[in-house]
Structure 1
Amino acid sequence: MSVYRPPRIDPSEITPEGVYLNRRDWMQGAAGLALASLLPAEAAATAPGITLPTFYKSRYSTAEDKNSYEQITSYNNFYEFGTDKGDPAENAHTLRPTPWSVEVGGEVAKPRRFDLDSLLKLAPLEERIYRLRCVEGWSMVIPWVGLPLAALLKQVEPTSRGKFVEFTTLQSPEQMPGQRTRVLDWPYVEGLRIDEAMHPLTILAVGLYGRPLPNQNGAPIRLVVPWKYGFKSIKSIVRIRLVEQQPTSSWTRSIPSEYGFYSNVNPEVDHPRWSQATERRIGEFSKRKTLMFNGYAEEVAAMYKGMDLRRYY
């Protein structure tokens, strides 16, 4: 599958950071502000000491209103820093996002280790405003900055045996205190089928709102797969392997009846303990209908043609 290459855009057309952080974004949603007010002010404001190259607007962005920076950085799932939604913003200051590297290997012709600088130069960075839908029934709209995962995978030349892509998070209990608990088998592992990984919607995010990723959001590099539930978008990645057999994801290993390998957003397939037909956007009080494939059906539904989506949930 070919990878979309965004057109060059004049600097005058690039949204300045000051516009991102306008009053409307900061004040959007009383619920989000209430959550943020419970945290130290520096928790949501501190970003790693990383400089992002110039980035470009992407045609893949949704036109929906974005959640505020405060909401996005104060309400997170990142069990390596605690199981409550506010724990990551409070505890993730212990993560050291630099220096950082990602080892890419397995069923590839050219295995390689990429440091952060080389990763940022693989492809033009793009701003992509994506919906994020979590299995617990909440959602956000986030302006990610990232590069297509396909740009990285092409560098290592997957072989015909590379049918799946396995991702692994950093394992360092010193930096990630939640790894001292047994809530999951560490390190955190996730996986995609190779066509999902090569799909142009799948990105490696390195920033949000024009800034480098905050620690609590998966610094310095994380996966974003917008048509799947949020736990598939693994954070703080240190290893990527191409493999022949379907990898076992951490949540699938822990509770296979509740967390399938595919985890496509599907309002017709309920979680065993709650409905997935509706969701609540952070900052809103009423619920909205959940969209098939999180609203990306036109782009991704063909990959699952003929599959029983209740069996391959």
Structure 2
Amino acid sequence: MTPPGKPDAPVPSPSRSSQVQSRRDFLRQGGLATAGALVLGGGLELLTRQPGGTAEAASGTGSLPSRVYHGPYDTKEPMSKIADITGYNNYYEFGLDKSDPARNAGKLKTRPWTVQISGLVKKPQTVDIDTLQSWFPLEDRLYRMRCVEGWSLVIPWLGFPLAALLRRIEPTAGAKYIQFTSLADPAQMPGVRDPVLNWPYSEALRLDEAMNPLALMAVGLDGRILPNQNGAPLRLVVPWKYGFKNIKAITHIKLLAEQPKTTWSIAAPDEYGFYANVNPAVDHPRWSQATERRIGDLGRRPTLPFNGYGAQVAGLYKGMDLRRNF
């Protein structure tokens, strides 16, 4: 989750991690039908053999091949180092410093885990996380991530389209918004003991945003089980929005008729709006949003409207004043 602090100072530039054969291509090759059935059937945890609550789950270790990304939703930019992706995080439930999540999230138990689906849906239910992910083929997506603080990463997610989940649970005609709520357990999450935010963390999208093909429910990272500090066992990824919209450790999904309040829009409504679309033309009240620092680089680069995904999502906001609806 993204804090209201000022942008960070530059850090030294490490070398990029190597990127080799795509797991999608790997699974298409002969002799791997069993492995493919496990992954595409949602057996990510079975394949990696990493139960929640272990050091391995916290680090996202696993044995799937590394690969390059060339699917219809993938950026062509180089992937960030996995050490940066898993070691540099905003996740206030585990502390306020960027290194706190990696240090403190290892004890989070991600199995057993259930997700409650309620509100304006035809199929309300409470579902086990492994059952939920088994409903859908899992897809690799290499996405840019832009934090409202002015830094960015390129992250190799593994998950399923949010639209697929919505089609399965069948929103009713009156549903206009989808709200997500995170776990808030002070016994496992030391940051929840600090009232820096109104816990539990909550985020939301308009239903048409949620149905966009780019919106992803992530359960893995770089072909491995999702590390705890990156939002295990289930998180939202909406790459055209600032990072704080990408809620982690989801426990509840609710369909609503009216726009709900969200955590950061309650905490600082003049700084963090409901939409949070990446917009270099609209500065944060305390800093410019025109440029960003890619973690691992020394310099800064121009920020792209909608984080570079305008061709896919700009139509969602046709006719809207994106300065007013920030």
Q: Which residue of 1 aligns with 2:216?
A: 203
Q: Alignment partner of 1:220: what SS?
A: coil
In the alignment, residue 185 of structure 1 is paired with which amino acid?
Answer: N
Q: Structure 1 residues 260 and 13 mapped into 2: Cα distance closer, same or farther (>3 Å)?
A: farther
TM-score (norm 2): 0.81
Partner of 1:119: 132
**1:232-263: per-residue Cα shift (whole Å, max 9, x none)?**
00000000000011011100000000000000
Pair 98,186 (structure 1): closer, same or farther in 2 beyond 3 Å: same
1:236 to 244, 249, 256: 249
Q: Secondary structure at the match of 1:270?
A: coil
Contact 1:57 1:127 in 2 (8 A): no
Q: Does 1:59 align with 2:72?
A: yes
Cα deviation for residue 271 of structure 1 reads 0.4
Q: What residue number does 2:207 align with?
A: 194
Matched ranges for 1:4-23 at <5 A: 11-12=27-28
Give the structure 1 partner of residue 37 of structure 2. none
Separation (CA, whole Å) in 2 of partners of 1:12 and 1:160:
40
The residue that corresponds to 1:132 in the other structure is 145
Measure how far apart 1:46 and its partner are. Answer: 2.7
**AA in 2 matched with 1:233:** N
Distance 2:75 2:271 in 1: 29
SS of the equivalent of 1:105 reads strand
Identity, % of aligned pairs?
Answer: 59
Contact kept? 1:145, 1:208, Cα under 8 Å = yes
Q: Which residue of 2 aligns with 1:26?
A: none
1:144 to 139, 143, 157: 157
CA offset digits 1:51-94 (Å, max 9, x no partner):
9xxxx973201111000111100000000000110010011112
CA-CA distance at 1:44 after TM superposition: 9.6
Q: Tell whether 2:199 aligns with 1:175.
A: no
Letter of the 2:208 counterpart: D
Deviation at 1:151, TM superposition (A): 1.1
Give distance in 1, aligned partners of 2:317 and 2:213.
16
The residue aligned with 1:5 is none
Q: Give the stretch that moved more between structures: 99-108 or 285-294.
A: 99-108
* Equivalence for 2:8: none
Q: TM-score, normalised by structure 1?
A: 0.84
Task: List gaps (5 residues or longer) in structure 1.
Answer: 1-7, 17-41
Q: Which runs of 4+ in 1 moved over 3 A?
A: 42-45
Which consecutive residues of structure 2, in runs of 5 or more, have no partner in the other structure?
1-23, 33-54
Q: Is the CA contact (8 Å cut-off) linking 1:205 and 1:224 kept in structure 2?
A: yes
Q: How far does residue 113 in structure 1 lie from its aligned partner after superposition?
A: 1.6
Q: Partner residue of 2:278?
A: 265
Task: Assess, with a 3 A threshold, how the Cα gap between structure 1 residues 306 and 150 changes in structure 2: closer, same or farther.
Answer: same
Aligned to 2:299: 286
For residues 269 and 311 of structure 2, the distance between their equivalents in structure 1, rounded to whole angstroms, comes to 28
Q: What residue number does 1:75 align with? A: 88
- Structure 1 distance, partners of 2:208, 2:57, is 35
Indicate conservation of the 8 Å contact 1:43/1:89, yes or no: no
Shift of 1:13: 5.8
Which amino acid in structure 1 is aligned with residue 164 of structure 2? Answer: A
Q: Does the Cα contact within 8 Å between 1:150 and 1:198 map onto a contact in 2? A: yes
Match of 2:311 in 1: 298
Q: Cα RMSD over matched residues?
A: 2.2
Out of 141, 159, 166, the position equivalent to 2:179 is: 166
Matched, 1:217 2:230: yes
Closer/same/farther in 2, CA of residues 234 and 166 from structure 1, 3 Å limit: same
Q: Which residue of 1 aligns with 2:169?
A: 156
**Tell me, what secondary structure is at the counterpart of 1:246?**
coil
Shift of 1:171: 1.7
Q: Deviations over 1:202-249 (max 9, x none)?
A: 000001111111110000110000000000000000000000110111
Report how many residues are paired: 276
**AA at the equivalent of 2:263:** S
Q: What residue in structure 2 maps to residue 46 of structure 1? A: 59
Distance 1:280 1:167, change over 3 A: same
Equivalent residue, structure 1, for 2:19:
none
Specify the SS of the correspondent of 1:80.
helix
Tell me if structure 2 keeps the 8 A contact 1:278–1:290. yes
Paired with 2:29 and 2:322, the residues of 1 have a C-alpha distance of: 41
